[in-house]
Amino acid sequence: MSRRLKFFLSHLFISMCVGFAVIGLIFLVWYPAPLAKAVGVTHISLMLLTIDVILGPILGFIVFKEGKKTLKIDLTVIVILQLCALSYGLFNIYQGKPAWLVFQNDHFDLIRLNDALVTKNIQKENGMNPQFKAVDMGKTPVEKNKYLVEEMQTGIPASYRVERYTPIEKSAVQLLKEKRNLQVLKAFNEQDQIDKVVERYSDAVGWLPLRVLTGIDMVVLIDKHGAVLGIADLRPWKLS
């Protein structure tokens, strides 16, 4: 086996290992199912990885020539460009990741990291995985009115204001009050799809809509204690 082919196979193997690690990071940590489908990141992520994993080794194979004076420099440049392209793509995918699933009034909003209004505590509030939160709608009539007027004047929903997030556990009573009957899902989903979800989440007693801006709306399942069980790939209403 020639050195050229050995380098190509080694480069391809390392690129594939990095690619699989990146796939795990994206689809298991940043965009756990079914959120990857909800925000439509699957296609662009796989396209980025395919180009990066394959193009780098191919370019290396093309420029590799034993005895070439600039071989090390050429290969180094290719690897650096490959890493830069991957880093840039990952940065953008990270910025668009679902950071919070925020309960407000009678539904959840999916808030991407680059959607939320930047505050001093945004990095503190943001975790690697999407987090369920609720919105503080005000504790006194004056405070509630203040928040309402602020939302009407700015047109920015409270769910985008990270500084007003509270633990989802504090909204258990409200979640139970606003939850919808599982039978309602029959109007927008196939029965076998609902059965699979009910079988997986046997403790579910109700659900609330998960609104996804420029994505696919889904359903958040609630148990009898008002705790969030998970997200189901079901439609909460008829999609236009």
* Bridge partner residues of 125 (DSSP): none
Q: Does the residue 217 lie in any domain? A: yes
Say which residues have a Cβ less than 8 Å from residue 38's Cβ, sequence separation at least 6.
Answer: 98, 110, 210, 212, 215, 216, 217, 218, 231, 233
- Is residue 120's pLDDT more than 50? no
Final residue before a domain boundary, out of 95, 110, 141: 95
Q: How far apart are CA 40 and CA 109, in angstroms?
A: 16
Mean pLDDT on 51-59 = 88
Domain boundary among 62, 95, 128: 95
DSSP 49-109: HHHHHHHHHHHHHHH--TT-TTHHHHHHHHHHHHHHHHHHHHHHHHHTSEEEEEEETTEEE
Q: Considering the domain boundaries, does residue 14 fall inside one?
A: yes
Same domain, 121 and 208: yes
Q: What is the mean predicted confidence (pLDDT) over 118-143? A: 73
Statement to judge: residues 17 and 56 lie in one domain: yes
Q: Specify whether 103 is located in the same domain as 198.
A: yes
The answer to whether residue 113 sits within a structural domain is: yes
Q: Are residues 177 and 87 in the same domain?
A: no
Whether 46 is covered by a domain: the verdict is yes
Shared domain check, 109 and 228: yes
Please state the domain count of the chain. Answer: 2
What angle do helix axes 42-63 and 3-24 make, rounded to 10 degrees?
A: 160
Where among 72, 95, 118 does a domain terminate?
A: 95
pLDDT for res 170: 92
Q: Which of 34-48, 116-130, 132-146, 216-230 has the lowest mean pLDDT?
A: 116-130
Query: Where residue 116 falls among pLDDT bands split at 50, 70, 90?
Result: low
- Let me know whether 187 and 110 are in one domain: yes
